[in-house]
Amino acid sequence: MAAKPIKVSQLTTYIKRILQTDPLLGNVSVIGEISNLKHHDSGHIYFTLKDEKSRINCFLPRERVPGIRYELDEGMEITAAGHVSVYEKGGYYSLMVSDIQVEGQGDLAIAFDKLKQKLEKEGLFAASHKKPLPYFPLKIALVTSQTGAAVADMVKIITKRNNVTDILIYPVLVQGPEAAAEISSAIDHINTDFPETDIIITGRGGGSAEELWAFNEEIVARSIYASKIPVISAVGHETDFTIADFTADARGETPTAAAVMAVPDTSEIIETLNYLMETIQESLVESLKYKEERLKTLDLQNFRRSINERTEFLKYRADSLILSNSRAFSSMIGMMEERKENFMRMLEDLNPKNIMRKGYSVVTDENGIMINSTVDLAKDQQVTLIMSDGEADSLISEVRRNKK
Amino acid sequence: MSAATKKMTFEETMKKLEETAENLQKEDITLEEALKNYEKGIEYYKQCDEILKKAKQKIETYSK
C-alpha cells in the first residue's frame, strides 16, 4: 500500500506546485500545428497545438491578443511562447501563451489571407472610405526607417520635383516585433500633433516576407483607416502587396513611385501657369480689338438718336415714379396722424384726474401712499381724500369690512 | 489643413484660372465680362504664384 491517502484537491495543488516551480516549464516555446481554434466571446482565444504524436491545450488571454502579430487559423504551424499552468478545477494543464511566432511562408500566407478577409468584411478597404490625395500638398510626412534607402529615395524625388512642399521625416522601426506598434502610433501622432500635414507616406524598401510583415499587422491597418490625413502605402517592390496597401488611400508600387504620386512637379506647374496667363493676356487684347472694330462699324447718327429716345423715355418714367410715390407718401402721413390721435385719446382716458372728474376719489395715508383696502385702515386714523379739484384731510370713525 | 486649403486649394485656384482663360476665348463675351475675367485671372495667377514662391522648403526629422 502506498502512502496515506490524500484528497483530489491536495494532489492537484501539489502537481500545480511542481509544474509551476519547474524552471523549464515556466518559460517555454512550443512548435506545433493549430487545431480546435476558438475565439471566445470574452476575447480569450483557445486552441490545441499538436504534432504527429501529441497535443497540448493552449490559452491566449484577451489582454495578450493585441500583441499577437498574426491572425491565427486552423492548420497553421506556429511557435507559441508561454508557461505551463494547471487548471485545478478541471484537473488539466495547458500552455498559457504570451507570444506567437509564424515563420513558414505558407503559414504567413494563411495569416495574411485571414486578416485580409476579416478587414475586408469590416469595410477597411472600401473605396468609399478612401480619401483623395490633395494635388499640391504643402507638407508631407514620411513614416519610415531613418536609415533605409527608402527615405533617401523619397526625399530625393520630392525635392527634385518640387521645391515648395515641406517634408517631415518621422523615423520608425520597419521590421521586427516592435515595428507595427511604432508605425501605428506614428500615424496616430501625426494626425494629432501635425494636423497641417497633407499626406502621409508610410513604407520601406524591399525585403523578405518576414521583414515586410509589420505592414501586414492589424494595428497598422487600423491606424491607416482612422487617419484623417490621406495615407499612401509604399512597401517593397511592385509585386509586394500588403494589408497596409489595401487599407491606404493610395498604393505606391515602390517608395519612389509614392513620392512621384504625392507631389506635383513645380516646374511643370509654372509652365502651365505661364501658358494660361499668356492666353488670358492675348484673349483680352483679341476681344478688345474685336469690340473696337464693331464700334467703328456702328452708325453714329443712329446711335445718338436711339440714345436720345431712351433718355426721354427714362425721364418720363422717373417723373411718373416720383409722382405716384408722393401720392402714396402723403396718404401714409395721414394714416400715421390718425393713429397718433387715437393713441393720445387712449392716454387721456387713462389719466386719473379724468377718472376723478367722474366722481371717484383716492384715499392716501399721512405719507401720501394710496390706500386701496380696508385692511390698511383703522379707527381714528388720519387719511387724505384726493379729488379732481382738491384734497380733504379726514378721520376714520368706523371700519366695516366686507365678508368674504 | 494647410494654408492652401483654407481659402481655396491650389488645384481649385488653377482650375479657376483655366476657366477664366476659356471664358476670355469666347467670341460673344461682353467687354465687362472680359475685363472681369481678366482681373480674376490675374488674381488666381498671383495666388498660385504666391504658393510657389513661398519660404524655403523645410526638411526636418521628428525626434521624440
- The span from the CA of B7 to the CA of B14, in Å, is 13
ipTM of model:
0.83
Which strand (E) or helix (H) includes residue B51?
helix B31-52
Confidence (pLDDT) at A32: 96
Q: Which of A170, A273, A287 is opposite residue B34, by nearest beta carbon?
A: A287
Band of residue B1 on the pLDDT scale cut at 50, 70, 90: very low
What distance in Å separates residue B32's CA from the closest CA in chain A?
11
DSSP-H helix ranges across A263-394? 266-297, 300-350, 352-357
Residue A311 pLDDT more than 50?
yes
Query: Residue B15 falls within a domain, yes or no?
Result: yes
Q: Which domain holds residue A146?
A: 128-264
Of A378 and A49, the structure prediction assigns the larger pLDDT to A49
Band of residue A224 on the pLDDT scale cut at 50, 70, 90: very high
Query: Residue A87 falls within a domain, yes or no?
Result: yes
Average pLDDT over residues A218-230: 97
Q: Which of B2, B21, B61 is opposite residue A283, by nearest beta carbon?
A: B21
Confidence (pLDDT) at B31: 75
Which residue do the cell numbers 511562408 mark?
Answer: A105
What distance in Å separates residue A286's CA from the closest CA in chain B?
9
Query: Residue A13 falls within a domain, yes or no?
Result: yes
Q: Which domain holds residue B29?
A: 6-52
Query: Residue A288 falls within a domain, yes or no?
Result: no
B interface mutation test: which of A131, A133, A138 has the most B CBs within 10 A?
Answer: A138
Q: Does B64 touch chain A (CB under 8 A)?
A: no
The domain tally of chain A equals: 3
Query: Residue B60 falls within a domain, yes or no?
Result: no
Confidence (pLDDT) at B5: 42
DSSP label of A130: P
The gap between the terminal CA atoms of chain B, to the nearest Å, is 23
pLDDT, tens only, A282-292: 888 877 777 77
Average pLDDT over residues A204-221: 94
Band of residue A129 on the pLDDT scale cut at 50, 70, 90: very high
pLDDT, tens only, A181-195: 999 999 999 999 999
Query: Residue A221 falls within a domain, yes or no?
Result: yes
Q: Domain check: are A159 and A241 in the same one?
A: yes
Collect all residues of chain B within an 8 Å Cβ-Cβ radius of residue A137.
Answer: 2
* A43-60 burial: b if 16+ Cβ within 10 Å, else e: eebebbbeeeeeebebbb
pLDDT, tens only, A267-306: 999 899 889 888 888 888 877 777 777 666 655 555 566 6
What distance in Å separates residue A298's CA from the closest CA in chain B?
16
Q: Domain check: are A50 and A165 in the same one?
A: no
DSSP label of A23: T
Q: Domain check: are A69 and A177 in the same one?
A: no
Collect all residues of chain A within an 8 Å Cβ-Cβ radius of residue B57.
Answer: 159, 162-167
Q: Domain check: are A254 and A159 in the same one?
A: yes
Query: Residue A112 falls within a domain, yes or no?
Result: no
Nearest CA in chain B to A195: B1
Query: Residue B19 falls within a domain, yes or no?
Result: yes
Compute chain A's Rg from CA coordinates. Answer: 47
- The span from the CA of A75 to the CA of A34, in Å, is 5
Give the mean pLDDT of chain A: 87
CATH of the domain at A71: 2.40.50.140
> Under the phi-then-psi rule, with left for phi > 0, alpha for psi from -120 to 50, and beta for the rest, what region is A36?
left
pLDDT, tens only, A338-348: 666 665 666 56
The domain tally of chain B equals: 1
What distance in Å separates residue B13's CA from the closest CA in chain A?
11
Average pLDDT over residues A229-244: 94
Q: Does B29 touch chain A (CB under 8 A)?
A: yes
Confidence (pLDDT) at A95: 96
Q: Domain check: are A242 and A151 in the same one?
A: yes
Average pLDDT over residues A320-336: 59
Asked if A145 and A174 touch (Cβ cutoff 8 Å), the reply is yes
